[in-house]
Structure 1
Amino acid sequence: MKHGLIAILPLAAGAAIYGFAFGLLAAQVGFPWWGVGFMSAIVHAGSSQIVAVEQFANSSAIIGAALAGATLNLRYIGIVASLSEILKELPLPLKIVAIHITGDENWALTMAERARSPSIGAPFLMGSGLAMISVWTFSTIMGAVVGTILPDLEKFGLGFAFTAAFIAMGRSLWKGTPNLIPWLSAFTFTVIAVMFGLPQAYAIVIGATVGLLFSCFIRVKQGRLP
């Protein structure tokens, strides 16, 4: 577990930066610091939290915000499935904890390390996951505390932090040209939905769903899905 905790620290430092920015802006739109911390610990998904805060602040599409967050995190179905071999020896309560603290960063690091050394398993995953969720929760709380003290951050241009965080997360998920068609289709359908007056949260759901369908179709054509 210690190995995973130490190995993830460089990635955790990067997550802390946009976690702090998220906390700042969440506080600016009215979220209390304890609410931000609770969300970070329970949801533990930066993209979903960003969408939720934006939608709760700017519209009444609460169900749409929840659906948008869930759709953005559909990738975790595949992530959790890929961990079946690693988690198979753990008792159910520990499996649930391991799944909850698994994020993009510690999952990717665990799988990369496991490819080099098959002995890497659940302790590494959980150590790196505990480090990530701790850093993420703490950084968002600190951002929220500072955000309640500072004046309106929009005039400093920090309103772009949400977009910047999404760009950073998106760049980490980019796997090259195979992603191009699903990403473009998701973007196109999201823009079209917004142009037709649909609330942004529902537009995200539509775009993500279309992108997922295109991705599945491509994988089937390539023989990577039955």
Structure 2
Amino acid sequence: MKQGAIAIVPLAAGAALYGFAFGLLAAQVGFPWWGVGLMSASVHAGSSQIVAVEQFSGASGVLGAALAGAALNLRYVGIIASLSEILAGLSLRAKLLAIHITGDENWALTMAERARTPNVGASFLIGSGVVMIGVWTISTTAGAIVGAVLPDLEKFGLGFAFTAAFIAMARGLWRGRVVALPWLVAFGATVTVVSLGLPRAYAIVVGAACGLIASCAVRRFGRGAA
């Protein structure tokens, strides 16, 4: 566990920066600091939290926010499936803990280390995950505490922190031209739904679904061509 905890520190430092910005803006739209901290510890999914706060600040319904967050986190189905070998042999309680604290950063780091050193396993994943969820919860809570006593931060341009966080996450998920078509399809579908005047939360769901369908089609016909 110690090896994973130390290895994740540089990534955790980066997450703390946009976690603090998220906390600031969440406080500005009315979220209490304890609510932000509770959400970070129980949900532990930055993209879902950002979308939820945006939707609630825009007076969107709970269902819309939940659907948008779920669509953004569909990738975790594949992420958790990829951990089946690593989590094999653990108790159910340990597996549930490992799944809860698994995020993009510690999953990617664990898989990269495992590719170099096959004996890297659950202890590395859990150690890095504990650090990540701790840093995320503390940074978002701290941001919310500070944001509650500061004036309107939108005039300083900090509202762009949400967009910047998504750009950073998207950049990390980019895998070259092989994913270009699904991304374009998702983008086009999302823009179309927004232009029709429907809630942005549903636009995210539609875009994610269309992108997933396009990705499946690319893989299927790509194999056929090969």
Matches within 5 A, 1:67-216: 67-216=67-216
Q: How does 1:1-40 map to 2 (within 5 A)?
A: 1-40=1-40
Aligned match of 2:45:
45
Partner SS for 1:152: coil
Mapped to 2, the partners of 1:118 and 1:89 lie a distance apart of 16
Aligned AA for 1:223?
R
State the 1:135 CA deviation: 0.3
Q: Look up the SS of the partner of 2:198 in the other structure.
A: coil
Could you state the TM-score of these two structures normalised by the residue count of structure 1? 0.98
Contact 1:6 1:128 in 2 (8 A): yes
For residues 135 and 18 of structure 1, the distance between their equivalents in structure 2, rounded to whole angstroms, comes to 11
Shift of 1:74: 0.4
Q: Distance in 1 between matches of 2:28 and 2:13?
A: 23
Q: Distance in 2 between matches of 1:187 and 1:52?
A: 20
Q: Which runs of 5+ in 2 are unaligned?
A: none
How far apart, CA to CA, are the structure 1 residues paired with 2:222 and 2:77?
A: 21
- Poorly superposed stretches of 4+, deviation over 2 Å: none
Inter-partner Cα distance in structure 1 for 2:196 and 2:30 = 29
Instruction: Report the RMSD for the aligned CA atoms in angstroms.
Output: 0.9
Identify unmatched segments of 5+ residues in structure 1.
Answer: none
Aligned-partner Cα distance in 1 for 2:140–2:179? 30
Q: State the secondary structure of the residue aligned to 1:89.
A: coil
| Cα distance in structure 2, aligned partners of 1:64 and 1:213 | 21
Letter in 1 for 2:84: S
With normalisation by structure 2, the TM-score equals 0.98
Identity of aligned residues (%): 71
Counterpart Cα distance in 2 of 1:178 and 1:139: 35
TM superposition shift of 1:217: 1.1
Please say if residues 61 and 201 of structure 1, whose CA atoms lie closer than 8 Å, have aligned partners that are also in contact: no
